[in-house]
Amino acid sequence: MPRKRPFLIRKFAQVPPPLILALLYGALILIGTAALMLPISRTVPITLSDALFTATSAVTVTGLVVIDTGSDLTVFGQVVIAILIQLGGLGLMTFAVVILAALGLPIGITGELYLREDLNQSSVYRITRLVRTIIKVVLTCEIAGALLLCISFVPRFGIWRGWWESVFHSISAFNNAGFSTFPDGLVSFATDPVVNIVIPALFIIGGIGYVVLDDLLMRRPWRAWSLHTKIMITGTAILIPLSVANFAALEWHNPGTLAQYDSIAARLTVSWFQGVTTRTAGFNTTDIGALHDSTALMFISLMMIGGGSTSTAGGIKVTTITVGILATIAFFRRQTQLHLFGRSIGLEQVLKVMALTAISSIVIFVGIFLMAASHDGNFLDICFEVASAFGTVGLSRGYTGELTEFGRAVIIVIMFLGRVGPLTLGFFLATRTTPRVRYPEGQVHLG
């Protein structure tokens, strides 16, 4: 007769996987906060609020900061930030699977369920292979990125510091964290060719999604790609040129951003970097506070869109926006079925898009309301800060340092929801319940 499992273990097994993941992310934030409070981690006194905000920003791969990462933290403290970024970006369950695999231990059905939620998958099929793809991509990209960045950083900072700056920025870029050890971000490297190629390459690869990378690495032809991959590749190919061109057009004559450069090549270089970093990474090579209001509004929309599912990026995601647009077009065309690239999109997916969009909008609206009610300042700056926190982007118009304790708490919650909220929502949306009673259809007047 099999032994009964202890009561606490039975209760733990009944907890929904997304809630477990949310608790794990919360625990990692608390551990990171405690580590940053250690004297060995900092060069200046910091408050518990500083440490908690910074740890949350690192785990959620956001990049909003209330302290100077390069000067206020020691190398040990910067290592703590890099580890938090790596764990938060890679995914806690993915990291756990790597450890179990290294020890030769089985994952188990429960572990596969948690991993499925962490990777935003609808089933456990392909998960093991997907994890192997993730590890290969992460190691290859971050090592290659660090080596290439040494070309620019080592001559400027020396061997040891240049090497560490390269490693830190490679980890931060691939995980779309936006953390930098330089006080002005990457502004001093605005026209550096290596930085403008390597950093965007890292956060584009990290933000496009591991499912897409799996299809690409398998060298499948276009027709064999999944619908998700086709949408992500097409959406990214549209959004990148569009955002770069719009940034150049809006900021070309702005003396605070592009107009400070005399050459067309320099202006286009800055436009390229700032156009592609806005949806996901949060690095900056120009003064974000000097942007025109129209550009700031464009950035807010791009931060809301974000990158791809099963990636290090945040936001509502490109696929979500695409399905929402298709549903809108289908409504005006009086179509009863959505289809794209020869594949149909079910009603369940449309309902999930509606729920994600609605809940995201509510979170952002409530965040803006709380911030506006408790802070004095430019309303656009507040909107920008909240959108950046929810999209886990990390760009700021200089408002992060003006946050009160209440404002920090609001932004912390928004960053956390922006990172782990979709996991919990996705679980409840994926849980099906069969209605026992059918009701007659009623008429509701809409619009």
Q: What's the pLDDT tens digit per position in 262-305?
A: 899 999 999 999 999 888 888 999 999 889 999 999 999 999 88
pLDDT (0 to 100) of residue 100? 45
Model pLDDT, residue 108: 46
Structural domain includes residue 312? yes
Band of the pLDDT at 114, cuts 50, 70, 90?
very low
The count of domains in the chain is 1
Q: Has residue 439 been placed in a domain? A: no
pLDDT tens, position by position, 46-90 = 999 999 999 999 998 888 999 999 889 999 999 999 999 988 887
Domain for residue 37, yes or no? yes
Query: Strand 338-340 to strand 343-345: parallel, antiparallel, or no bridges (unpaired)?
Result: antiparallel
Question: Looking at the domain assignment, is residue 123 inside a domain?
Answer: yes
pTM for the whole structure = 0.85
Long-range contacts of the stretch 339-342 (C-beta < 8 A, 24+): 340/227, 340/230, 340/231, 341/227, 341/230, 341/231
Provide the 3-class DSSP secondary structure of residue 332. helix
Q: What is the pLDDT of residue 270?
A: 94
Q: Is the pLDDT of residue 122 over 60?
A: no
- pLDDT score for 352: 80
- Please, are residues 305 and 315 in contact by the beta-carbon 8 Å criterion? yes
Under the banding of pLDDT at 50, 70 and 90, the label for residue 103 is very low
Digit-coded pLDDT (tens) for 201-250: 998 888 887 778 777 777 667 777 778 888 888 888 899 999 999 999 99
Q: In terms of pLDDT, which residue wins out, 197 or 138?
A: 197
Does residue 109 lie in a domain region?
yes
Q: Does residue 2 lie within any of the structural domains?
A: no
Question: Can you tell me the mean pLDDT for 374-396?
Answer: 89
The contacts of residue 297 (CB under 8 Å, 6+ apart) are: 380
Q: With DSSP H G I counted as helix, E B as strand and the rest as coil, what are the percentages for the chain, rounded to 5? A: 70, 0, 30
With H, G, I as helix, E, B as strand and everything else as coil, classify residue 80: helix
Percentage of residues of the chain with pLDDT beyond 90: 39
Q: Which domain holds residue 200?
A: 10-430
- What is the mean pLDDT of the segment spanning 323-327? 85
Q: Is residue 440 part of a domain?
A: no
**Collapsed DSSP state (helix, strand, coil) of residue 310:** coil
Q: 435: pLDDT confidence band, cut at 50, 70 and 90?
A: low
pLDDT tens across 413-433, in order? 999 888 876 555 555 555 555
Q: Indicate whether 178 belongs to any domain.
A: yes
| Residue 11: per-residue pLDDT | 53
Residue 291: closest CA among 434, 410, 395, 142: 395
